[in-house]
Structure 1
Amino acid sequence: MTHIGIVGTGAWATTLGILLARTANKTILWSRSEARANELETARVNDRYVPGVEFPDQMSISGSIDESVANADLVIIAVPSVTIRENIQQIKSAISTTSRIVCATKGIEIETGKRMSQVISEELPELDPRHIGVLSGPNLAPEIAAGNPATATVAFPGLQMAKDVQAVLSSDVFRVYRSDDAIGVEFGGALKNIVAIGAAFIDGVGLGANTKASFVTRGLHEITRLGVAMGARPDTFAGLSGMGDLIATCYSTLSRNYRLGLGIASGKDLPSVLSELGQTAEGAPTTQAAVKLAKKLGIEMPIADVTHAVLFEGASPEEAIRELMGRMLQPEVRY
């Protein structure tokens, strides 16, 4: 039996725990709050984030780092990007030099522009970076928790490690592909949330299917351009962690980032919408991080720029689209 330790008790952490416990893995979620851990362990359901789905017998919740992480065959990190560094600092004493870590958090650190796996590696300097991978794809948590078929990509710097972890994560309802382009897989999963917010702006103000299709397509090009500048392969963005995740997030009301965009388009401000969501919407901090990183690298990201203007600078969705339509004419493909 494989022991999987999961850091986090939010929607995605809980869903992964349920998914992996259903295939007879010993799955232990770690909560920073002992009280929350006891509450979830007693209830055997996470009604706050995954309502109505009972925990399998092989899944448990613990406030003990040693119980959940120390002896795990695989550790999955599934916490908000803005807290990932703090969480890794708390569990680092339980991570051995042979641990295998999969980061399921999608985001970029605002202050440094670092990917989540880079933050993990920085906080765990004694762990071989080749033991740190990422998981991403079109993974709307409520559908997976309900047992609907889904796919994802797991990426490590080395394909053998990716192959080993792929076998652990895969099941008859969760087909996992492998890759050695961890940079591309990670950037695709993080940056698509920016585009999803903007796509919801378009739906919210009724600009139509043509406008949305154009926005999403150009968004994919923009994501790819930044990813390639950071060392990713362009073909990765045509895969599950790029196009696949982008489509799911831009076209489903199950997506928190899409719902965030709809809320903004209805005239509400960002704090109000985030409060109503009651869950992390990674697209907001990722927009800040991406705009900052693109400027540092001299990369044009007009969609990220106008999304930032709407979220943080008081621009309207209509003004954002006018800004994009009025840009200087240029070739369609530029990497």
Structure 2
Amino acid sequence: MIQQTIAVLGPGSWGTALSQVLNDNGHTVRIWGNNEQQMQEINATHTNQRYFKDVVLDEKITAYSDLSQALDGVDAILFVVPTKVTRMVAKQVAQVLDHNVHVLHASKGLEQGTHERISTVLSEEIPEELRGEIVVVSGPSHAEETIVRDITLISAASNDVKEAKYAQEVFSNDYFRLYTNTDVIGVETAGALKNIIAVGAGALHGLGFGDNAKAAIITRGLTEITRLGVAMGAKPLTYIGLSGVGDLIVTGTSIHSRNWRAGDALGRGEKLADIEKNMGMVIEGVSTAKVAYELSQQLNIDMPITEIIYRVLYEGLDAREGILEIMRRETRAENEF
């Protein structure tokens, strides 16, 4: 295995877990974040208590609040920041980076306003002479399980197979395995849109519905995700892979998923503003629901579940009324696409 120096931008739960994976593989890992106190904690006590109460990180993982220092001489940069700040951080990277690097991202969302995928945002802001083709690292993965070295399988997607294989090589080990993929649009849209369905699945649970309803929303939700993704240029088969159905299952059925927990709280009658405040972490499904709804209108794609979730989140629709709307829709053949 090649030994690399890798900057992980974003000290959240997933960024921290991926930093440990890379460190386990013998790479030099630098975590960057703009919270000075959090960076000091990682360096002093080798913990990140905000996200992991009982995990001690390897002392070789170092944290930086100065971006230029974090990027000095690195071989690769891994973006794991919230979608809403990706463009801002990418601009900062472009200003201080002085050499060519591998650029990867492990975030899941679509940019509000532009409706762009994260790899598109990164490619627009980081000049070609400073990077190779962007690699998307995405799939069924809870940081809470990866951080304790539970078995995790995800995808590495890039328009350049060599870049995808680079990610595969630096990440893969006995408990963390990557498969390469060239369908960047499919992998990114699957990772972003499944968060919306996870909010809906959580809401069903909060409302008291059972496993039948859970299976229904996951299955029909996958149909909607595939519809929109294919309209954007993705390959249909991607959605039955790790980054598609795999990620949808893990996010739409687990209490580890902040999107599921947010939906569950909505179903139990809590207000969205209170949920977001209490969560303390970004709920990507909330912002992605708006982008996906707008895209579905723009591309004339039928996405009834997404529309209802959007209306619950942004227009105050009662969740039970939304469910009845879907159940009373005109009946149709299952394989209508």
Question: Is the Cα–Cα contact under 8 Å of residues 225 and 334 in structure 1 kept in the other structure?
Answer: no
SS at match of 2:55: strand
Identity within the alignment, %: 37
Structure 1 stretches of 4+ with a deviation exceeding 6 A read: none
Matched residue, 2:216: 214
User: How far 1:320 sits from its partner (Å)?
Assistant: 1.4
User: How far 1:282 sits from its partner (Å)?
Assistant: 0.6
Q: Which runs of 5+ in 1 are unaligned?
A: none
Change beyond 3 A, Cα 1:239–1:96: farther
Question: Is the Cα–Cα contact under 8 Å of residues 45 and 53 in structure 1 kept in the other structure?
Answer: yes
Matched residue, 1:38: 40
User: How far 1:228 sits from its partner (Å)?
Assistant: 0.4
SS at match of 1:131: coil
Matched residue, 1:122: 124
Question: How many aligned positions are there?
Answer: 335
SS at match of 1:46: coil
User: How far 1:96 sits from its partner (Å)?
Assistant: 4.9
Q: Distance in 1 between matches of 2:224 and 2:169?
A: 32
User: How far 1:67 sits from its partner (Å)?
Assistant: 2.7
Matched residue, 2:245: 243
Q: Distance in 1 between matches of 2:114 and 2:223?
A: 23
User: How far 1:2 sits from its partner (Å)?
Assistant: 1.0
Correspondent of 1:322 among 316, 321, 324? 324
Q: Distance in 1 between matches of 2:170 and 2:109?
A: 24
CA shift digits 1:37-95 (9 cap, x unpaired): 22331121000012211111331101122332232212100011111111111221233
Question: Is the Cα–Cα contact under 8 Å of residues 135 and 167 in structure 2 kept in the other structure?
Answer: no
Q: Distance in 2 between matches of 1:171 and 1:159?
A: 20
Correspondent of 1:71 among 59, 73, 85? 73
Matched residue, 1:313: 315
User: How far 1:97 sits from its partner (Å)?
Assistant: 6.0
Q: Distance in 2 between matches of 1:325 and 1:188?
A: 25
Matched residue, 1:258: 260
Whether 1:93 and 2:113 are equivalent positions in the alignment is no
**CA RMSD, Structure 1 to Structure 2 (Å):** 1.5
Matched residue, 1:134: 136
Q: Which moved more, 1:230-239 or 1:68-77?
A: 68-77
SS at match of 1:236: helix
Q: Distance in 2 between matches of 1:97 and 1:231?
A: 32
User: How far 1:106 sits from its partner (Å)?
Assistant: 0.3
* AA matched with 2:55: V
* AA matched with 1:60: T
Q: Which moved more, 1:83-92 or 1:142-151?
A: 83-92
Correspondent of 2:156 among 140, 154, 164? 154
| Counterparts of residues 296-307 of structure 1 (less than 5 Å) | 296-307=298-309
Q: Distance in 1 between matches of 2:72 and 2:191?
A: 28
Question: Is the Cα–Cα contact under 8 Å of residues 103 and 132 in structure 2 kept in the other structure?
Answer: no
Change beyond 3 A, Cα 1:153–1:114: same
Q: Distance in 2 between matches of 1:304 and 1:127?
A: 39
Q: Distance in 1 between matches of 2:129 and 2:294?
A: 29
* AA matched with 1:324: I
Whether 1:165 and 2:177 are equivalent positions in the alignment is no
Q: Distance in 2 between matches of 1:126 and 1:49?
A: 34
User: How far 1:301 sits from its partner (Å)?
Assistant: 1.0
User: How far 1:129 sits from its partner (Å)?
Assistant: 7.6
Change beyond 3 A, Cα 1:87–1:51: same
Q: Distance in 1 between matches of 2:41 and 2:75?
A: 26
With the length of structure 1 as denominator, give the TM-score of the two structures.
0.96
